[in-house]
Structure 1
Amino acid sequence: MRKLRQMLIWALLSLLTTWMVSCSTGNVTGTKQSASGKVEIEFWTMALKPRFTDYFQNLIATFESENSGIKISWTDVPWDGMENKILTAVSAKTPPDVVNLNPDFASQLAGRNAWLDLDTKVSSEVRSSYLPNIWNVSTLNGKSFGIPWYLTTRLTIYNTDLLKQAGITNPPSSYTELAQVAQQIKDKTGKYAFFMTFVPQDSGDVLESLVQMGTSLVDSSGKAAFNSPQGKAAFQYWVDLYKKGLLPKEVLTKGHRQGINLYQGGETALLTSGPEFLKEIAKNAPNVSRVSAIAPQITGSTGKKSVAVMNVVIPRDTKQPDAAVKFALFLTNDQNQLAFAKSANVLPSTVKALGDGYFKNIPANASVYDQSRAISAAQMQQAEVLTPTLKNFNVLQKVIYENLQAAMLGEKTVDQAIGDAEKEWNNS
């Protein structure tokens, strides 16, 4: 199924590329109107219904009351269905007007000129209201293709009982400490310290760890830069953990969801994840939740912390670009970002909203859930998107993960694995 899905995506991308080459670069003129005669904006989100239905209905009602000539039609798309759905819609020239994506996937289509150039539609003054490093994530070849929306940054959620059983007082703060803790927990309890997926389609956490350990993934021309002393040391780090039996075997076949399941089952002592999972743990595993605490994200010698970005993009072939930009900026303004952050336990991407006292004034006796937002917000001082914006980022992730897996299984040496990954990427 995974191969079939990849083949479908690449087939659609090829179709999209062929169509774009044959079309002019101008916007399609005309407007799409609702039965009431209003301009209709079609807005797609990813996996936000039904939990946030009330939030979006209220937001849309407010926008429509302030913009009487515009009607918003909201569609929520399942997480695993968005890529195929948006590729199909864009290639058929029937796209929605505002779409919630992430920069990694959006950049693949940005390289094919699928999105509106926002530098011509959003003033520098408005752009400066967003966190600069976060705005830049949705740029490719010097052009802005997306508007930042909400952010998440990983924390270390840890089981205080398991650490105590292993004689560990404080959770690890670095990868060096993590390796030591992993050995100690295995020796004392027979359990694993943590789970980290090496499945390329699932998570970029391993690539981020390479950067945190001092590895540059690509150079300024986009060629491989990871075949370096730092890159080899990072490869060796994960190979050693796996060969010593300090990582579950299923890290090669299961995704991040398995890490959550193992932590909830009391089988691992640490979970590196977003604070949004704290409520899930409390619901599914109350006994584990009661002994859980949180700490800042584990990092490497660079001290860098990662942040994940969700953005909104506007297809180049929208029939109402000005109204679409107006709604996208309303959706992501200070007030609405702060309201959504409070509702979803995520972080806003505007300077003013992130500086709100909600993220700073946390009482000493606050719950772990409330403490998480203060730690998350504080991490934004060091946080950045650690992986590069590339139109074929998924290929980079695939070649590194597959060769790293081969080294972990003993099929290649670390030197062979990183050398092969370099060649595959540079020839892709």
Structure 2
Amino acid sequence: MRAVPRRATAAIAVTLASALFLTACGSGGGDDSTSAEGKVEGNITFQTWNLQANFKDYFNGLIKEFEKEHPGTKVKWIDQPAEAYAEKISAGAAGGTLPDVVNVSPDLVAPLAKAGLALDLDKAAGKYEKEYLPGAWASHQVPGLDGTYAFPWYLNTGPLFYNKSLFKKAGLNENKPPRTYDELFTASLEIAEKSKGEVATLANVPSIEDFGRYGVRTMNKEGTEFTFNEPKGVELLERYVELYKAKALDSQALSATPESAGKKFLTQSVAMNPGSALDLAKFEKEAPGLYKNIGITDMVTNTGKNNMYVMGVMVNAKSERKPAAVAFAHFVTDKKHQEEFARKVAIFPSTKGSLDDPYYTKQDGTDGTRVRVAAAQSLKEAVNYTPVLLSDQMKKELQNAVARALQGKESPKAALDGAVEACNQLLQQS
């Protein structure tokens, strides 16, 4: 399944942006015909992202239920593999064959909205906004455009694991993990000092999500330039440089992957790491000493809001059957069906009230429930900190800038200034 990972979803391929530019250059943000009023009828197509292999029966049943509720409709389901999904959307956009209803992530919907191919739901289906968590509804809004361009669907977020034993050895309260970045930096330096540099607290360099959680404005409201080099962003990177020099940030953090960071945590050479219920099972099997000392907490944030990874369902603004397309997109993402789908896999519904269900609030002693409850509660007020216009290439520019600063090749300010300049140039090119 194409569930949302801890990092942001795959950014759009250059071919997608190019095809949309050639197809709809100058069309602006959205189709003039945004009305979804009218009889729900006719044949529509529905495209998902690598879901058929594991959820064929669920979606076939969902479609059958919709068609029964709306006689005269017929839904054709198309499932695309995870590989080259952006290119598939590109081909549909360029060839005028984009399905009526499309499974998208925020970064995929942005160029479609700019090209006038994503229906503005604020205009066409604004009555449904109240059904969804505010942060989820806002996740498919595009800087520089007015409107919301996809129904929020399923959510995910990662709880933060920490090693209580390592905290206790450093003289810290193992039952009060850091909640803010100031607390995190203080604890990290203390652990490094007490362990004589043998134990780092973190295994990863800061990503754009860290800048967002730190309280940095990462992009201007108009969506015309990135701003993560503002003083607060420089301050964050300066703090990470301090950690790196003190060995409070793992020496291999510059080349770390989720897998390598997880291994560091498993061997108890790192005190904190994001994870999932699958990791808990692994700890119990491979590192029982770690498992018995596992603490679970929210991701560190200065804003009081965790990061939200989100998938959405977009309606093609050029659909000839908008009433049916909007009705089906809402049907897929309404409270009843989101809750049903979320019980089948480790994801979370984006509808209001769903996360208050005992399934997401009551502990039963199992590892899966421990993580599910911790993650679900943080999602109620979570936001997507990754700008929808930030591509993989832009993320690489930021990553390289962070590396230069940590290695002492550039000051944090110079490194971030360079990254912002490069990202803004890429933004203009797209």
Which TM-score band applies after superposition, normalised by the shorter structure?
0.7 to 0.9
Asked whether the equivalents of residues 197 and 256 of structure 1 are also in contact (C-alpha less than 8 Å), the reply is no
Q: Does 1:63 align with 2:66?
A: yes
CA distance in 2, matches of 1:346, 1:163: 30
TM-superposed deviation, 1:185: 4.8
Q: Does 1:245 align with 2:247?
A: yes
Q: 1:225-304, aligned counterparts within 5 Å? A: 225-264=227-266, 267-273=269-275, 277-279=276-278, 281-282=280-281, 286-288=285-287, 290-291=291-292, 293-304=294-305
TM-superposed deviation, 1:334: 0.8
Deviations 1:173-224 (A, max 9, x none): 23233334444555538344333256xxxxxxx2121222232122334434
What is aligned with 1:214?
A: 215
What is aligned with 1:147?
A: 151
Distance 1:116 1:9, change over 3 A: same
What is aligned with 1:409?
A: 407
Distance 1:383 1:42, change over 3 A: same
Asked whether the equivalents of residues 296 and 379 of structure 1 are also in contact (C-alpha less than 8 Å), the reply is no
CA distance in 1, matches of 2:27, 2:325: 22
Distance 1:281 1:265, change over 3 A: farther
Asked whether the equivalents of residues 175 and 298 of structure 1 are also in contact (C-alpha less than 8 Å), the reply is no
TM-superposed deviation, 1:323: 2.1
Superposed CA RMSD in Å reads 3.3
Q: Does 1:420 align with 2:421?
A: no
Distance 1:319 1:382, change over 3 A: closer
TM-superposed deviation, 1:271: 2.0
What is aligned with 1:9?
A: 13
What is aligned with 2:129?
A: 127
Distance 1:421 1:283, change over 3 A: closer
Give the structure-2-normalised TM-score: 0.80
Asked whether the equivalents of residues 159 and 288 of structure 1 are also in contact (C-alpha less than 8 Å), the reply is no
SS of equivalent residue, structure 1 residue 73: strand
CA distance in 1, matches of 2:188, 2:117: 45
What is aligned with 1:193?
A: 201
TM-superposed deviation, 1:133: 2.9
Distance 1:352 1:417, change over 3 A: same
CA distance in 2, matches of 1:52, 1:268: 37
TM-superposed deviation, 1:248: 3.8
What is aligned with 1:32?
A: none
Distance 1:353 1:263, change over 3 A: same
Asked whether the equivalents of residues 39 and 70 of structure 1 are also in contact (C-alpha less than 8 Å), the reply is yes
Q: Does 1:93 align with 2:130?
A: no
What is aligned with 2:105?
A: 102
CA distance in 2, matches of 1:89, 1:254: 36
Return the letter of the residue paired with 1:92: G
Deviations 1:299-356 (A, max 9, x none): 2433332212211112333343322222111111111111222222322111132333
The share of aligned pairs that are identical, in percent, is 27
SS of equivalent residue, structure 1 residue 158: strand
SS of equivalent residue, structure 1 residue 105: helix
CA distance in 2, matches of 1:26, 1:43: 22
SS of equivalent residue, structure 2 residue 119: coil
Deviations 1:20-51 (A, max 9, x none): 13889578xxxxxxxxxx95433232343434
SS of equivalent residue, structure 2 residue 253: helix
What is aligned with 2:377?
A: 378
CA distance in 1, matches of 2:252, 2:87: 28
Asked whether the equivalents of residues 155 and 294 of structure 1 are also in contact (C-alpha less than 8 Å), the reply is no
Return the letter of the residue paired with 2:63: I
Gapped runs of 5+ residues in structure 1? 1-5, 28-37, 199-205
Asked whether the equivalents of residues 176 and 300 of structure 1 are also in contact (C-alpha less than 8 Å), the reply is no
Return the letter of the residue paired with 1:20: A
SS of equivalent residue, structure 2 residue 115: coil
Distance 1:330 1:264, change over 3 A: farther
- After TM superposition, the structure 1 stretch with the greater mean CA deviation from structure 2, 142-151 or 107-116, is 107-116
Asked whether the equivalents of residues 196 and 251 of structure 1 are also in contact (C-alpha less than 8 Å), the reply is yes
Give the structure-1-normalised TM-score: 0.80
Distance 1:192 1:64, change over 3 A: farther
What is aligned with 1:368?
A: 367
CA distance in 1, matches of 2:203, 2:278: 20
